[in-house]
Amino acid sequence: MNNTITLQLPTEVDNFISNLAFSGDVSREEIIIKILTEYYHHLEQSSDEIPEELSMLKDEEGLLTISDTFKKEFNES
């Protein structure tokens, strides 16, 4: 199953991806897919390693998931 995603990248990131694609003779899409795939695998491997601080905040705030906790922390910063 393929999904189409439209990304609005900052100029620096766009240039970085373009340079990687040019130097590796691959498409920009392939670079983005590789970056996202590697990031996903990294998150999947470290998903059990919840920082104690976030776990405590989750319990204190009565949040349902660690994802909710990350969203709360992100929105407050």
First to last CA, the chain: 36
Which pLDDT does position 64 carry in this prediction? Answer: 62
Instruction: List the chain domain ranges.
Output: 9-46, 49-77
Dist CA 8 CA 53 (whole Å): 32
AA identity, residue 71: K
Note the pLDDT tens digit of each residue in 33-76: 888 888 887 777 765 566 677 677 767 777 666 566 666 666 77
This prediction's pTM:
0.52
